[in-house]
Amino acid sequence: MFDYNSISHAFEEAFLDMKELFAANESDFVRIHGKEKNGSADVSVGMLDFERSHVEIVYIASAPMYAEKSLLECRIYPDKRDTSLFFSPYELMYDVFGGARESWHFPYIESPERMKYCASYMMKALLPFIDEIDEIACDLPRCYEIYEKKRAALKEFFKNDEDYYDDSESSLEIFALKITYYDGWLSRLISTKAFSQLLEGENTLPLVRIMNDPANPDFFKKMYAENSTSSNFPFKTDKDADSLSACMESHSAVKNLLILCLATIVSFPALYLLYFIVYTLLLSVGFRDALFTSSVGSALLVSNLALISSILAAYFVKRPIIAIFSRNRKRRLAYHDMLFSGFAKKVSRLLLILSLLVSVILIAFSACRNYAFYTDGFYDNSSFFEISGDYYSYEEISHVEINEKNALVYLEGGQTVKISSMHKGSREQKLFSELMTEKGIDVKEVQTEE
């Protein structure tokens, strides 16, 4: 189990060690607990309150399935009287930080050691600019311009949304939700490998595609333009602080796919055996008085259902496979537990349970889909969703023809019953021929089906 709590404690230790350097008027560290049952905090916040501004270093442990997990970020309130908007350091990159390129965003932190390093790294990078941030509120035109840029970015992002903002109380609530949505979108944007490359002066092909979005923030466009006109960017992401690259390297799509394939292969035999046992039990209980039965397509159905269930079960089997076969076992397990948690794990568990239930139901119908032979006659249960099929007495049969794949039963009234999957030379075909001969019915072998 991924230990968010130890990482949150490491964040607290790093914050308490560094906070005195900022000479803030007030500082505090709070934990906001959510629905996690293990007692860990969903969000931990280190707060630095200055005369006119407010800064928060925020660790978001658990997050929705589409958002970054175990994220450390910085939120700046240039004018602490206005708490409706906060700014990422990247949004203030050209207004406060002089275009300086720095790492301010650390998603997928997998260990207390990396958290301590990232938190210290961020606060050290922030320290030289604290006085500049606190002076913004004193310069009203500058402060107004900074906040208007953010509002303009929000309006551009929601330009097709008619109820974006008005003066009604309900719209103010909607506006607050939209700010949260925008900040989440921005967080996901700067948590991409393409943005890390942009920060280091590269304009990669994925980045070119992203740039086609007109809603991209102003700092994004300026960085892209700078990269296009200059190659002199000495900044390189600190390897120990680059939590995103560490996660992508350790939990790459190729490695994850290989592990899932191996987990599926491991799961398949167990689930096939389980479904086969269920099928055999249902067949033996439901047709215990029959002399024998000839099933229709049961093996293929059981195989397909076992394959589907094993793919879903692979998400739960892959953890022990990682523990056994991975070289960096501790780190790989940390990333697995971090990424495969919360909503994603609940949905996967629900789909697996649903798959098991549906499979058992389909296997029950498959067990009933057969030809059951008794002492006085046989049942044609070849229709899939019929529990009890048509009954034919042996006295009604005039003769039987057997070809390579099927048996044709000709009745006295001229009707013909086709017993499919009665392959020539199979156990069922031999038992069927012996039974017909025992009942005095003429059995003919033919080369082709008439």
Check: pTM over 0.85? Answer yes or no.
no
**Blockwise average pLDDT, block size 10, the chain, 450 residues:** 82 93 91 58 88 93 73 92 88 84 88 92 92 89 89 81 53 75 87 80 65 74 78 69 80 80 92 90 82 75 90 88 78 78 81 93 82 86 71 88 84 84 78 88 74
Best CATH choice for the domain 389-445 from the list 3.40.50.2000, 1.20.59.10, 3.40.1590.10, 2.30.29.30:
2.30.29.30
**How far is 393 from 91, CA to CA, in rounded Å?**
84
Q: Show me where the domains of the chain are located.
A: 4-250, 253-369, 389-445
Q: How many CB atoms lie within 10 A of CB 158?
A: 18
pLDDT at 331: 78
pLDDT at 82: 85
pLDDT at 49: 94
pLDDT at 203: 67
**What 3 state SS string does the chain have?**
CCCHHHHHHHHHHHHHHHHHHHCCCEEEEEEECCCCCCCCCCEEEEEEECCCCEEEEEEECCCCCCCCCCEEEEEEECCCCCCCCCECCCCCCCCCCCCCCCCCEECCCCCHHHHHHHHHHHHHHHHHHHHHHHHHHHCHHHHHHHHHHHHHHHHHHCCCCCCCCCCCHHHHHHHHHHHHHHHHHHHHHCCCHHHHHHHCCCCCHHHHHHCCCCCCCHHHHHHHHHHHHCCCCCCCCCHHHCHHHHHHHHCCHHHHHHHHHHHHHHHHHHHHHHHHHHHHHHHHHHCCCCCEEEECCHHHHHHHHHHHHHHHHHHHHHHHHHHHHCCCHHHHHHHHHHHCCHHHHHHHHHHHHHHHHHHHHHHHHHHHCEEEECCCEEEECCCCCCCCCEEEEHHHEEEEEECCCCEEEEECCCCEEEECCCCCCCHHHHHHHHHHHHCCCEEEECCCCC
pLDDT at 441: 87
pLDDT at 162: 58
